[in-house]
Amino acid sequence: MRIDIATLFPEICETYLGQSIVGRARAKGVFELYCHQIRDYAFDKHHRVDDTPYSERQGMLLLAEPIWQCYCAVVGERKPHVIYMSPRGKTLNQTKLKELAEKGEDLFILCGHYEGVDQRVLDKLCAEEISIGDFVLTGGELPAMILADGVVRLLDGTLSQEDCFVDESHYSGLLEYPQYTKPQIWQDMAVPDVLVSGHHANIMKWRREKSLEETYLRRPELLETAELSDSDRAYLSELKARYEDMQEFLQFK
Ligand SMILES: C[S@@+](CC[C@H](N)C(=O)[O-])C[C@H]1O[C@@H](n2cnc3c(N)ncnc32)[C@H](O)[C@@H]1O
């Protein structure tokens, strides 16, 4: 996969995506990354990239032409999937990251700034708009890095086998079970016995039940769409009864 990021701050994206797990994946050739300065494609002598909106609103908008010139120069004959990071877009989630990673298409990610981008270039690029949440940041760089990091993490060759992501939060619709590392006792708190028992089947059962419990307590709405077996449903009924009893007990007290 090749990822191109068009931005007014290419060095920010280069720095973050050149580090740690993602940086190593890039060095190994799992994906290619190029960050482009939109200003380099500005057509006037002052390299102007913004102007005032026609709506009489305050603030500035990124001009269509430098972004279009950047896109044409970068993609050539290729047809990457174009994404504009935007608070108006559909909210990013793990399913979307999985879809992008599995499709494996090249990505051209546009980062807005100021009040955003002239709508005409978004229409011309047939850009998919993706948001990272219902809030507004000053620029699209953090959202673009979040998207790129999340996609790259799922590409073959990025994580080692031990880092396997399939039972992590959101991958299969549930939240992750609690995790523990050494020492076995820390400040009088012991790791659950089952995890040091060496009994594989019991460990797997414990993990699944804890995943169900964490999801039930923290994000119960996820259970409506998660893939659940009959034994998962039975365990959830048990949990529900247990926590309902606890509520009654607390109210009584
Ligand atoms: C100040 S914002 C513009 C907000 C725009 N006027 C609006 O109301 O939708 C500047 C840029 O930051 C990026 N941005 C801000 N918040 C974002 C979010 N939640 N998700 C994705 N991108 C965001 C976008 O690229 C946007 O063009």
- What is the distance between the alpha carbons of residues 79 and 98, in angstroms, rounded to a whole number? 20
pLDDT for position 114: 96
Q: Examine residue 170 and state whether it is found in any structural domain, yes or no.
A: no
Pairing of strands 50-51, 128-131: unpaired
Same structural domain, 152 and 240: no
Same structural domain, 132 and 213: no
- Last-in-domain residue among 126, 161, 196: 161
Q: Examine residue 207 and state whether it is found in any structural domain, yes or no.
A: yes
Strand partners, 190: 185
Mean pLDDT, residues 179-195: 98
Q: Examine residue 166 and state whether it is found in any structural domain, yes or no.
A: no
**Cα within 13 Å of Cα(213), Cβ side:** 13
pLDDT digit string (tens) for 125-154? 999 999 999 999 999 999 999 999 999 999
Same structural domain, 149 and 206: no
Spatial CB neighbours of 144, under 8 Å, sequence gap ≥ 6: 5, 7, 13, 85, 109, 111
Q: Examine residue 175 and state whether it is found in any structural domain, yes or no.
A: no
Same structural domain, 23 and 92: yes
Say yes or no: CB of residue 112 within 6 Å of ligand 1: yes
pLDDT for position 167: 77
133: its two tokens:
């949440």
Same structural domain, 118 and 58: yes
Q: Examine residue 210 and state whether it is found in any structural domain, yes or no.
A: yes
Say yes or no: CB of residue 135 within 6 Å of ligand 1: yes
Q: Examine residue 68 and state whether it is found in any structural domain, yes or no.
A: yes
Same structural domain, 149 and 193: no
Same structural domain, 107 and 230: no
Name the residue of 85, 125, 130 whose CB sits within 8 Å of the most ligand 1 atoms, as the mutation to test its pocket: 85
Say yes or no: CB of residue 115 within 6 Å of ligand 1: yes
Number of domains in the chain: 2
Say yes or no: CB of residue 88 within 6 Å of ligand 1: yes
- What is the distance between the alpha carbons of residues 105 and 162, in angstroms, rounded to a whole number? 26
Pairing of strands 50-51, 61-62: antiparallel
Q: How far is the CA of 192 from the centre of ligand 1 (A)?
A: 44
* Atom of ligand 1 minimally distant from the CA of 111: 25
The vertex-58 CA angle with 53 and 64, nearest 5°, equals 25
pLDDT for position 253: 58
* Atom of ligand 1 minimally distant from the CA of 130: 21
Mean pLDDT, residues 97-122: 98
Domain that holds residue 193: 185-252
Among the ranges given (10-19, 51-60, 186-195), the one the predictor scored with the smallest mean pLDDT: 51-60
Spatial CB neighbours of 108, under 8 Å, sequence gap ≥ 6: 4, 6, 71, 74, 75, 80, 81, 82, 83, 125
Say yes or no: CB of residue 179 within 6 Å of ligand 1: no
Q: How far is the CA of 149 from the centre of ligand 1 (A)?
A: 19
* Atom of ligand 1 minimally distant from the CA of 135: 19
Q: Examine residue 139 and state whether it is found in any structural domain, yes or no.
A: yes
10: its two tokens:
């290419």
pLDDT at 162 over 60: no
Say yes or no: CB of residue 138 within 6 Å of ligand 1: yes
pLDDT for position 224: 97
Same structural domain, 156 and 201: no
- Last-in-domain residue among 146, 161, 176: 161
Q: How far is the CA of 248 from the centre of ligand 1 (A)?
A: 45
Same structural domain, 111 and 67: yes
Q: Examine residue 177 and state whether it is found in any structural domain, yes or no.
A: no
Q: Tokens 């608070």 belong to which residue?
A: 87
Q: Is residue 183 reached through a cis peptide bond, with omega within 30 degrees of 0 on the bond before it? A: yes
- What is the distance between the alpha carbons of residues 66 and 242, in angstroms, rounded to a whole number? 60
Please provide the average confidence, as pLDDT, over all residues in the chain. Answer: 95
Q: pLDDT confidence of 120, banded at 50, 70, 90?
A: very high
Q: pLDDT confidence of 89, banded at 50, 70, 90?
A: very high
From residue 122, give the alpha-carbon distance in Å to each of 61, 67, 133, 146: 13, 9, 20, 21
